[in-house]
Amino acid sequence: MVKNKNTKDVTEERLEAVEGALTKTEVIIEKYQKSILTGIAVIIIIVLGYFSFQKYYLEPIEKEATEQMWMAEKYFGMDSLQMALNGDGNYYGFLDIIDEYGISKSANLANYYAGVCYLRLGQYENAIDYLGKFSSDDQVLAPMALGAIGDAYMELGETGKAAGYYIDAANKEDNAFTAPVFIQKAAWAYELQEDYNKALQLQKRVKTDFPNSTQGREAEKYIALLKAKLK
């Protein structure tokens, strides 16, 4: 009987503790009810604002920017680089797209195009500037942008920076399309710096990792030349 009584007492004590906890929770909720409701309202407003911004502001901008940029892309493909950059009076060029639609995906892509235009025009500082503003996870464009910055630095005679960007480009996406190109360019940059050991290491990497690529098939002759320089 004593055992049952103790069990009953313990159960009652637990119930009282739970009731006490609930009472405290109710007091806290009542005390901070206004703040809690305000917080919920703010979250709802933020969520609704985000979706409204996407649908009624960003989507129309994206559509308009895309409609404007197709002609600049056409001029780019025709190698009419000045018109691609500055437009033709009827359609925007890449620089206009960047200025007018700065937060759009098209403006981001226009940074890449503008950078390549300036690279081809020999305006290497501008090329580095615009290519550096481009951001992408695309498996081809992301390494191509880094590699193009490397090309600009090579033209400026800054072979150390060029080599660094080539390595970054090669490591960005380890694919057979871009990686062997930029590994080999990095090797050439190091060779110009007379760092023949580093250049040799990179040429061997091309040959080993990408044997079926054009660069992989060419690597053997560069390896032989570098070994001769190291003798």
**What CATH number should be reported for the domain holding residue 181?**
1.25.40.10
66 SS3 class: helix
* Average pLDDT of the segment spanning 192-206: 97
Query: How far is Cα 172 from Cα 183, in angstroms, rounded to an integer?
Result: 11
Can you give the residue range of the structural domain that contains 166? 136-231
Query: How far is Cα 208 from Cα 198, in angstroms, rounded to an integer?
Result: 15
End-to-end CA distance of the chain: 100
Let me know if residue 26 belongs to a domain: no
pLDDT of 53 > 50? The answer is no
35 SS3 class: helix
Let me know if residue 144 belongs to a domain: yes
- Residue 92's φ and ψ, nearest 5 degrees, are -70, 150
What pLDDT score was predicted for residue 155?
98
Let me know if residue 150 belongs to a domain: yes
Let me know if residue 120 belongs to a domain: no
What does the block give as tokens for 78? Answer: 């025709």
Residue 51 pLDDT grade (very low, low, confident, very high; cuts 50, 70, 90) = very low
Let me know if residue 117 belongs to a domain: no
SS3 breakdown of the chain: % helix, strand, coil, rounded to 5?
80, 0, 20
Let me know if residue 142 belongs to a domain: yes
Let me know if residue 214 belongs to a domain: yes
State how many domains the chain has: 1
142-173 per-position pLDDT tens digit: 999 999 999 999 999 999 999 999 999 999 98
